[in-house]
Structure 1
Amino acid sequence: MRDHADLYELQPGFDIRGAVMLVVLDGFVDAGSTGKQAASALFDAYSAEVVATFDIDRLLDYRSRRPEMTFVENAYTDYTPPKLNLYLMHDDEGTPFLLLYGLEPDTEWEAFTAAVRRLVEHFSVSLTVGMHGIPMSVPHTRPATVTAHATRPELVAAHSPWIGRVEVPSSAAALLEYRLGEAGHDVIGFGVHVPSYLAQSEYPRAAIAALSYVAGATGLALPVQSLEESAKGTDAEIDEQVAASEEVQRVVSNLERQYDDIMTARQASDNADGLLAGDETALPTADELGAELERYLAERERGSEG
């Protein structure tokens, strides 16, 4: 059997046992740059030590995601190499945790997931938690909601599902969750719902929500408030743009009514026998969610070609 440890270089001197591992892979769906902003907040707040470095040359299609270089007058002066690393950080209370962060692999997904599983078992990771943003028909004027998923139902028992069954494009992070679950490891994923009209912009409120959900699931003391200032600035810009357009105001108003109807139905179901005892018509359908995702991917593709 192939030894997938050849996919990464493990740095010596780290004796970490039982820590939580967070996962943010940049490359697929991250509406509002939710996961990316959350990871940036962690790097800004804490010192990060590289525990393991993945062989990015084997995992990345450089032609589909070309790294940036700096050209000055008549010469190339700098190159920003792509990275995919496992980092060690300590939260506000000094609790150690791991962060797997970098570009999502383009190739060798099975080898990658097997390599990460090897690291999970090497460090006896107690819980793996992923976070990202997904586009949804929700208004920015209401509290952020989330699609929580896990390798065991008990891990997300506090979160009611938003959808029954839907076929979606896969990702390396999704496959990692699935494979770790097959191996008996606990994994939780948080897909924060980002207003579809803000999916292509940085939306700090979604990153704040992501860190809050992760903190609640792990007990880590994370820098949730560090994004508050930028969130207030973004909120003001959004309010200004909404105020300038009656059409946008109507859209937001309709989304608010839809959101309130859904939340009322979900609250009513808490007093019944589970979510599906309520009004299922208040939930977005698989086709609606698929359409939101297709729009997001199409818009992002057009943006990358610009």
Structure 2
Amino acid sequence: MKYIFLLFYITLTNAFMFNNYVMLNGYKDYSEQLKPRIAIIGSTGKLGSKVIKQLSKNKIPIKILNRYLDYENPNNNDKSCKLMRYYSKLPNIQIVNGDINDKNSLIELLKDCDTCLSLQGSNRISKLTDIIYNAKTILSHPINVNYYGIKNLLYAANKTNTKHIIRISGNGENPWKLITIIMNTLGSMCKAWNYAGECLLREQISNYNINYTIIRPGIMGKNNRNENLKIKDNGNYLPITKVSYNSIANLCISCIGNNDIKDCTLTAMSTNEKIKLTDQFANVKKDYRFFPNKTKILKQHYLLSYSFISVLLFIFKNIIYFSFQI
């Protein structure tokens, strides 16, 4: 009887102490906090920061990829590092050091995540030395960021059972547009490799059990005058407009966990029409039209860019020649 009473006393005391601990410290269920459901690549970009701001406002747990290893140094005033330091103080964010070119860091990023927002892009300017060097050796080149990076992402998603990739892209489907030729020539063939990355996502359906949503926005900027978006499925054409980072961030977030827009390519432009995204999602169809073969399109992109450079050199040569004749 004495031992039973002693056991009861110990149990009661432990329960009382635990209750006091909960009252003083607050009990937290860390299971959800330790298992973020959304991964983000490109978190320090203008679009990425808007997405994170909206998700953090709703205390949604997320993991972000960080390639700025020195961000914890208070003397580092680089804009991206300062932003990463700010992220590190938010309770809903878990930072994973790595790079889109590193498969192992992508696997670590995608662990326990159902969805990945692939918002990264390359702003690399073309250099004359690009003729000499192999683009694959330049990690910031669009071939790595927009193409091989997507290949690495698919590999990691397959390993971690991540189900949905939401990718921000651009319309590189038509290589004959003058603006596309200029952007490719000056921007290290960014449009060409963006489209090639899109093709990888569409092709993966037969290889992996991974859904995709590709978003082709208009010209993104800080314009907040018109937040209404019009979307068109199958990557079909809409007149090009300016769109705000906020509205595209909202579109990205609206795509998370939404079965209506999986395996779709969406063109997104601003509109004066007052139409809700949810109403438009209901009418979206999965990609069913033929998208041009990436190898064929890549060849056209490169041929047109080189032809454009040749024309510019010819004009420049003649200007120099005739200036000496005068």
- Fold in common (TM above 0.5): no
Which protein has the bigger helix share?
A: 2
Which protein has the bigger strand share?
A: 1
- Normalised by the length of structure 2, the TM-score is 0.34
- Normalised by the length of structure 1, the TM-score is 0.36
